[in-house]
Structure 1
Amino acid sequence: MLPSRLRSRPFVPHLLALAAATALPAAAQSTDVATLQQVVVTGTRRVDRTLAQSESAVDVISAADLQRTGTTELATALAQLLPALNFPRPSLTDASDAVRPAQLRGLSPDQALVLVDGKRRHTGAVVNINGSQGRGSAPTDLNAIPVAAIERVEVLRDGAAAQYGSDAIAGVINIVLKKGAKGGGVSAQAGSTDRGDGRRGQLDASLGLGLGDAGWLRLALETGHQQRTNRAGVDTRDAATEPRKGQVNNRLGDPDSTKRALLVNGQAELAGGVQLYGHASFSQRDTTSAAFWRTQATAASNGVAALYPEGFLPLENSRTRDLAAVLGVRGESAGWRWDVSLNHGSNRFDIEVANTANYSLASLGAASPTRFDAGGLRNQQTLLNADASRELDWGLASPVVLTAGAEVREERYEVTAGQPNSYSGGGASGFPGFQPSNAGSHRRHDVAVYADLESQLTQHLSATAALRAEHYSDFGRATAAKLSGRYAVHPAVALRGTLSTGFRAPSLAQQYFATTSTNLINGTLVEAGTFTVPSAAAQSLGARPLKAETSRNISVGLQLTPTRDWQTTLDLYQVDIDDRILLSANLTLPAALKAVLAAQGLQVSAGRYFTNALDTRTRGADLVSTWRQDWGAAGRSDFTLAYGYTHNTVRRVADNPAVLTANALTLIDRVTLARATVSSPKDKLLLSAEHRWGAWSGRLAATRYGRYEVRQASAANDQAFSPAWLADVSVGWSQGAWSVDAGIDNLTDRYPERVIAANAVGGILSYSSFSPFGFNGRQYFAKVGYRW
């Protein structure tokens, strides 16, 4: 039986009717018999579980699916192919411009776990602290992984903390790498927006090599550059005496970005049937984004008019370096399949501020520095894992697969201070450097044990049970459990469902990230401090120690396979999360609290810190349907429909700290509540049709992004954004080793609605950073490839 709130929702009968009657597809995934019988490795410990037999909702996105999109970014491609994934393109949000977060099922970006070949991927160093979706999170950087290395992506849309540990509340994204000595290719891609900016080019290559008698080694390389886009409005701020009043002074759009990436993976056969395996990757992305334009009046009043007689635009030059390595051995002995691996990952973010000034150095005149090293962030993970599986004959329809394992994980987070001139005396305008009081290195370790049982209990019924216990050195214990099952009512009809609990430990970044930066708060640029929970500043504002998030997940699903070329799945789910970790509201400080922080050496007008102040409930539905039609000599068509609906509500808000109440401040304000509930699209519909005829192919896709709302401190300035349709079209030609593709994304040149004047900061903010499809407009792309 459905939960009562779901029964009352009008979308449920419509989805049931659509699933039973129309049954078209989703997520641009190829779906023939071979696909349904493809073995999946996410959400199961078995080695023979197929997509058709999965007890949880799993999307399989092939390398061909990724290549058919017009983007060079993995996260953007997944957002185009999956209704459950949201990947907005924030701008004027400091580091979030360079490392953008992706959401799964409308939840926080750090509540989705990323794996590479089943091994936990490290999270990023950047904490999203400004006014964008995913504020307060430090998720994995999906775009650090070269697309040329990927065989497929498996996305488990289900809670899986009992199987994989912390973070797997919204689901799991498992990136499966290409394997084997055979095959390879090179390709080149170019693209541009309709307005002539945002020009991009990319070269990538993939190569397989033999290694010994049965081993192999694969290399994948990627290099590319994208120019910035700009959709900022004309600047109408300040007096008519401003020399650049009415001109486009700011940047609002994608930043300039140059990336390079390398991934190596391989396998070698050792004595006794033991395999040595592993992969290593390195990526570097250099990004230039902008802060807000500083007017001539601002430059003059702060004594730097000699440097910038017409005003200036601070630029943030950042470098993101991502390194990962996994080395393991696996084999079989005494009836047990075993696997031992060592996994290390590191993400580093360094930032330099250019074309700016430190006003406290204005007395130096023309000799005042205009470029500052602002410091950096680093996140590391090292993990040792060992598990073993064996089949047990309990007299059931098939053997029971027992898996038991343990792992030890150490994490480290580091904040590096900038050069003194970047933070002293108010710091560099646009992005003050990290101060020595912000800097530090912090560690913790975690020990986990887990066990799974999976079996085909009868010819029609399969079931899985999983249990995991972990102990963190900083906050204590956490446990998670999961039960799932699938019952085949008929060869063409099956029911599936899961019950699970989960958890997400507060990341070291959420515990120890601190900075002072210039932020836009209620339409005004102010100096805001982000304080660590143990700090004197946060304690002065009522902070309490962080604890782990806990979750409860229930889902029920229907699988329909009426013919070999037609499959439909419908999954309904509910996720309750207690003690969600999020960044508090921007607390605009009254004089009394400013004085308290000033006594601690902090000259700020606003403050915030992380807190467990919210319990939420997420209810939703995912419909996926695919149909293939063979037209004989006229070719073959694949039709796809995918729909995802998400409804977030707040179940509890923690009591406001007394010190904040006494100063008329609210820890969790309406803006923060909206970001957790209504600021991502409530639904998303994907439709596509692809036809292949000989060497030619053509694809038409349409995406409808649902309504979302961006709230402000004053309800009068709230803005609701209407649903929007986007259409993409492409054609391809493939003959022998060569292939050519060309297409247009956003064929109708659709933009989101403009930001209302009250929120546009003197006309600069034309479009909202919450837009799920950005605001670049129509884009063209072309690709040419050679494979062997």
Structure 2
Amino acid sequence: MKKLTLLLFLTMCSSFMWAQTKITGTIKDTSNEPLPGANVLEKGTTNGTTSDFNGNFSLTVEDGATLIVSFSGFETQEIAVNGKTSFNIVLKEGLELEEVVITGSRTPARSNTSSPLPVDIVSSKDLQSTGQATFDKALQYKIPSFNTVQTPVNDATSLLDPYEIRNMGPSRTLILVNGKRKNLSALLYTQTSPGRGETGADISGIPTDAIKTVQVLRDGASAQYGSDAIAGVINIILKEDTKNGSATFRSGITSEGDGEMLGVSINNGTTIGEDKGFINYTADFSKVALSNRPGTVNADGEAADFVYTNPTSYSSYLDADGRTLGGVDLTGFTVPQAVAEFENNYMNTPEYATNLAAINAGNAAGKPFVDEFLSRNPDANNINGSPKTAAAKFSINGGYDVSDESQVYFNAAYVYKKVNSYANYRTPYWRTVESMPYLADFFPGGNPNTDGGYDGYVPTFEGDLSDYNATLGIRSKINDWNVDVSFTTGGNSQTYKVNNSHNRNVVYSPSTWIDANNNGTVDPGELTEGSELYRENSKRSFDPGGTAFSHNVGNLDISRILSEKVSIGFGAEFRSELFEIIEGELSSYDGGGADSFAGNSPENSGKFSRYNLGGYFSLDWDISKAFLVSGTARAENYSDFGSTFVWKLSSRYKLSDKYTLRGSLSTGFRAPTLHQIYTQKAQYSFVPGQGIQVGGLINNVSSQAQLLGIPKLDAEESTNFTVGFGGKVNKHVSFTVDYYNIAVKDRIVLSTEIGKTATDAVGNSIGNTALDQVLNANNLSDLSFFVNALDTKTSGLDVVLGYKDIAIGSGQLGFNLSGNYTIQNERDGEVKNPKIVADADQSVVNETQEALFFTSRPKTKWILGTTYDIGKFGLSLNNTYFGKTTFKQQGMSSDLRTEFIPKVVTDLGINYNATDKLTIALNVNNLLNVLPEWEFKAENAAGQALINDTTPNWYGITPIQEQSNLITFNQRYSQMTYDGYHFSQLGTMFSLSVNYQF
């Protein structure tokens, strides 16, 4: 009986073994290219797998099984096994063929029309067709909701320009490389320009030739990816190609004959082992020469700022000590009291007549000095435009099949960039040889009117930027679960150098006493007084330090297709961050520091770190073939400010095979960056009407911040709503229209410059608040700080229309129209001022700040692209419409605003495939030489009267000319103003590239 039982058991086991079959196969498209990531599912079960990098798969199934093979954008096939063990499967492109979308979801990829989220997909070819030199500028002319701006003479901003999606600032767009978080830049934008107070990743350094596609998610994604994804996500997907290597030579020049560009890049790949893996690598070297577009400087404005004394002002008649008026000490007098003293007791005295004559004589003598200099140098020798840049970029991307179920993947990149730019030129009437005689020796020139021919000088601002990122991970399938474990590291450092400058501050070394006779008293000859360290003893080259940022990120992502309708994903992320303010040398900051850019002092320098841990759960449920619902929840805890919980719900409903309705509702967050929490510095900045002033930025954890009652920074919170409609009418025509609404609570801003609460008639502070005490103690004209100051609301429309493959003659014609229109972008409620600021009747957000936040990007932007391919030629013509942009510049009358006039920039591209391997491309960017133009607009009747008033003031300038001088630094920035603009002020640019495929 036992033998019979054993025989039956062995027979059952043998039958079970015989009922299982291991199958292998390869999945390719109709072009014989492998399809990595295709799904293979045993019908009626949860047993399945995905194809590897080379399209290969293996799976154990029951005899008689049917395979369901699917890949987004391709027709699904059902294949009966019927005893076969090897399959070569070819998937055909479906009617709704779309790029595979992996951005914005933590479950298996879907096609673009199947995605419940708005995603723009830009190929490497699309980026290269723009003819732009850098990745960020190429996106500017491909994605309407993406904007970047070039700002003039803004110190470290010359190293990389601020960018953003949907007018939300650079820190609210998350950058991914192959789905993994890229490190932030070390740069914090602190000047009064778009992007003020924020930071972002350096995307300008990514080599375009290393990119396969870019997926731009125009929707909040904090639930999927964590902080920084309030406005959207840019996922840069690197090339995996091992067969189509190429070398590209690039050159270019502007129509003005400057800005010469030379570049060369190599992209190639190779397989590893017996086609078990791949490596794709890119090396890119480029150099761009200086482009200069200064304005013609207004002589009357220069004289008023630097030479003239106002004969109608009581301050013009102060005695030599700068404090007394006719023997009366005005210290402590308010301005009205001083004016009364001047009018009642001084205007009819002989001293007044004498001073008036002297002032008029001085003004008369000073103006010709300005005129003479500007006659030789109409632009005041200012240099503003595009700086000299050299860059070396390296990228590598690879993967290796460890087994049938496991693949190791890796990528790494390194960028080195060197930028040479310039500060404002110090004219001989701004930095005078009379007040600093040593300038004649420091900066000899050819001015016939000054000692030593001194004719001014221009400090340089030179920056070295290094940026790296790398990821190592393994993907595996364990009991039907897709497991992805990875480690990512990255960092960015920026160090600076100031040349052709000096430290003009009066600082003495300490006195020394040597007790020669050891009697314990100071005898004659034993005390040596300190010597002056700077001015005539100053260096002319300075190392002001810099900043650095790095992070390390660990990710665990797990997903599974539970059935044909349900898939889930969950995971965790640990991230540590380190921010460093690098100390400058003593002379770069001592006493006020180097003229033009002060270095980082020891008390403001240091290393600052934090870590955070997050976890998420995601579910996709295909309720029917037409109806998809996706949900994600995420919890995150930061070591420095606490925890947050966010969620996202999105859905897609296919109205038919052609049309889709989609929408999402989510909450999000953005953690304050370490830069915003710990940056503290004294910095030079341009204050309209006051020239260059030294202000202070105090950090959020400083004793000064505590004294002022500034609250600790907390995370921003957001609520995002998106609804859209799209479709593929036929194989030629497709469209999407998406409405978005973003509400941000407790938005972090860098305050405007908060000044002294009260000063007397001679400029001394007479306020007695904590604010005044901090300013006086630190010898600062003003200070600023970071604070959760605003609630904001932003809404708009994104539109994408495509019409391709239209047969015209022997060629194929295609059109693409995409646009963004901002419906609402404004403050929601009152500014949240700290008590000390409110009590001083000031605000951390003024009209200038609000303009930078809300109207400093085009209200609408449209891109109409046309392509025509015929024979060996490919033609493209793109027209980009930049809509109205409004500023409220600092120092300008509140009765006015400035508006940049809408413009269309036209780009032409011509490709010629000379041979199967050689392609020549010519691009003419800004074909019609369109330049930025702005004009004053009146806010009210007083503003219109100001525009209409043609009566010159006492020094010969009309009121509106004076306003213009205020915001352009007397026309140095006549084309751009001091705030920057959205397309290049360089005019027409020509570029030629030659590509050779190996």
**What is the TM-score when the length of structure 1 is the normalising length?**
0.93
SS at structure 2 position matched to 1:631? strand
**Cα shift at 1:35:** 8.3
1:338 is the counterpart of 2:486: no
Aligned twin of 2:169:
108
Structure 2 contact 899–934 (Cα < 8 Å) conserved: no
Code of the residue aligned with 2:912 in structure 1: it is W
**Cα shift at 1:245:** 2.6
Aligned partner (choices 191, 209, 219) of residue 148 of structure 1: 209
SS at structure 2 position matched to 1:596? helix
Aligned partner (choices 44, 61, 64) of residue 125 of structure 2: 64
**Cα shift at 1:770:** 3.2
* Length, aligned pairs only: 752
1:458 is the counterpart of 2:592: no
SS at structure 1 position matched to 2:101? coil
Code of the residue aligned with 2:480 in structure 1: it is G
Aligned twin of 1:740:
920
1:569 is the counterpart of 2:736: yes
CA distance in 2, matches of 1:82, 1:730: 18
Q: How does 1:549-588 map to 2 (within 5 A)?
A: 549-588=716-755
Aligned twin of 2:884:
707
1:678 is the counterpart of 2:678: no
Q: Measured at CA, do residues 625 and 304 of structure 1 come closer, stay the same or move farther in structure 2, by a change above 3 Å? A: farther
Aligned partner (choices 546, 555, 568) of residue 713 of structure 2: 546
Highest CA radius of gyration, 1 or 2? Answer: 2
Structure 1 contact 594–604 (Cα < 8 Å) conserved: no
SS at structure 1 position matched to 2:817? strand
Name the stretch that deviates more: 533-542 or 723-732.
533-542
Q: Which blocks of at least 5 consecutive residues in structure 1 are unaligned?
A: 1-31
Aligned twin of 2:75:
none
Q: How does 1:611-630 map to 2 (within 5 A)?
A: 611-630=787-806
**Cα shift at 1:774:** 2.6
Name the stretch that deviates more: 726-735 or 475-484.
726-735
Aligned twin of 1:666:
843
**Cα shift at 1:552:** 0.3
More strand by share: 1
1:403 is the counterpart of 2:537: no
Aligned twin of 2:503:
358
Q: How does 1:476-491 map to 2 (within 5 A)?
A: 476-491=642-657
CA distance in 1, matches of 2:138, 2:94: 25
1:760 is the counterpart of 2:968: yes
Q: How does 1:228-307 map to 2 (within 5 A)?
A: 228-235=290-297, 236=299, 237-238=302-303, 239-242=367-370, 244-246=373-375, 247=377, 248=379, 249-271=381-403, 273-297=405-429, 298-300=431-433, 301-306=435-440, 307=442
CA distance in 1, matches of 2:548, 2:896: 37
Aligned twin of 2:355:
none
Name the stretch that deviates more: 741-750 or 520-529.
520-529
SS at structure 1 position matched to 2:863? strand
Which deviations, in whole Å up to 9, do the C-alpha atoms of 1:376-416 show, x marking residues without a partner?
100111011111111113xxxx3311111011100110101
1:689 is the counterpart of 2:866: yes
Q: How does 1:57-456 map to 2 (within 5 A)?
A: 57-213=118-274, 214-235=276-297, 236=299, 237-238=302-303, 239-242=367-370, 244-246=373-375, 247=377, 248=379, 249-271=381-403, 273-297=405-429, 298-300=431-433, 301-306=435-440, 307-308=442-443, 309-360=454-505, 368-393=538-563, 398-456=564-622
Which deviations, in whole Å up to 9, do the C-alpha atoms of 1:336-373 show, x marking residues without a partner?
00010011000001001111110137876765311100
CA distance in 1, matches of 2:781, 2:536: 30
Aligned twin of 2:986:
776
Aligned partner (choices 673, 687, 695) of residue 521 of structure 1: 687
CA distance in 1, matches of 2:709, 2:432: 37
Which deviations, in whole Å up to 9, do the C-alpha atoms of 1:149-184 show, x marking residues without a partner?
100100000000000110000000000000142221
**What is the TM-score when the length of structure 2 is the normalising length?**
0.74
**Cα shift at 1:487:** 0.5
Q: Measured at CA, do residues 390 and 316 of structure 1 come closer, stay the same or move farther in structure 2, by a change above 3 Å? A: same
Code of the residue aligned with 1:613 in structure 2: it is A
CA distance in 2, matches of 1:408, 1:607: 36
CA distance in 2, matches of 1:159, 1:542: 33
SS at structure 1 position matched to 2:398? strand
CA distance in 1, matches of 2:534, 2:179: 56
Code of the residue aligned with 1:684 in structure 2: it is K
CA distance in 2, matches of 1:727, 1:436: 50
Q: Which blocks of at least 5 consecutive residues in structure 2 are unaligned?
A: 1-92, 304-366, 444-453, 507-531, 758-764, 936-963
CA distance in 2, matches of 1:334, 1:519: 61
CA distance in 2, matches of 1:670, 1:34: 52
**Cα shift at 1:785:** 0.5
Q: How does 1:710-725 map to 2 (within 5 A)?
A: 710-713=887-890, 714-725=893-904
Aligned twin of 2:950:
none
Name the stretch that deviates more: 467-476 or 358-367.
358-367
SS at structure 2 position matched to 1:448? strand
CA distance in 1, matches of 2:619, 2:918: 47
Aligned twin of 2:81:
none
Code of the residue aligned with 1:573 in structure 2: it is Y
SS at structure 1 position matched to 2:982? coil
CA distance in 1, matches of 2:502, 2:651: 61
- Give the alignment's Cα RMSD to 1 decimal: 1.8
Structure 2 contact 175–233 (Cα < 8 Å) conserved: yes
Structure 1 contact 35–51 (Cα < 8 Å) conserved: no
Structure 2 contact 756–775 (Cα < 8 Å) conserved: no
CA distance in 2, matches of 1:505, 1:655: 18
CA distance in 2, matches of 1:454, 1:312: 64
CA distance in 1, matches of 2:702, 2:467: 29
Which deviations, in whole Å up to 9, do the C-alpha atoms of 1:706-762 show, x marking residues without a partner?
101110243245211121111111211013011001121111111111573331112
CA distance in 2, matches of 1:46, 1:664: 52
CA distance in 2, matches of 1:35, 1:516: 57
Percent identity, aligned pairs only, is 31
Name the stretch that deviates more: 613-622 or 509-518.
509-518
Name the stretch that deviates more: 631-640 or 620-629.
631-640
Aligned twin of 2:29:
none
